[in-house]
Amino acid sequence: MKIEDFNIEELCDKAMSMCKQMANIDVHYNIDSLESIDAIAVQVSQLKDKGLVNTDVALNIALPLGTFAGEIMLKDKLTELGYKWQINEAGLPIISDRTHLNAFSPVSMLLAKITGEDTEDRSLKAFYDVLLIMNGKIS
């Protein structure tokens, strides 16, 4: 995947629609919506545990939700800190700073939560708060 093939707006629209259809939750471009996205990922994880969701479906859910979560973070403060979307060597969308030393993938974070690979149950909001602390934006 190339960055120009990564349709952020379309994926975010899909994520907002999914949240409404799957959980009757209205999400917006605000930090509070990160908690709603996490809650939906937990619900999908429970469906996966019951064998109702396979890995392909999990990825099709994680991609738009993770993209939307990333956009929320970028629009809040990360863009002003020099972060932006990039495509890594594996062809996956990541958010990286100017130095490329600090990079993360909200898509991979949600996929791990859905598939059960995230055994620490990290929340997007908590991760974002730590990222802001590391960048001196909150204390």
For 86-101, b where at least 16 C-beta lie within 10 A, e where not — what string? Answer: ebeeeebbbbbbeeee
Q: Are 95 and 105 in contact (CB under 8 A)?
A: yes
The contacts found for 53-60 with CB under 8 angstroms, 24 or more apart, are 53/114, 55/115, 58/111, 58/114, 58/115, 59/111
- Sign of the CA dihedral with 71 first, then 75, 76, and 82 last: positive
For 66, phi and psi rounded to 5 degrees? -70, -35
The confidence score (pLDDT) of residue 38 equals 93
Task: Classify 3-134 by CATH class.
Answer: mainly alpha
Q: In this predicted structure, what is the pLDDT of residue 1?
A: 60
State the Cα–Cα distance between residues 37 and 89, nearest whole angstrom: 26
Query: And the tokens for 68?
Result: 């939307």
pTM score over 0.95? no
Q: Domain-by-domain residue ranges, the chain?
A: 3-134
**pLDDT for the residue numbered 92:** 84
* Low pLDDT (below 50) residues in the chain: 139
For residues 103-114, one letter each, b for 16 or more C-beta atoms within 10 angstroms of the residue's C-beta and e for the rest, the string is: ebbbbbbbbbbb
Residues, the chain, total?
139
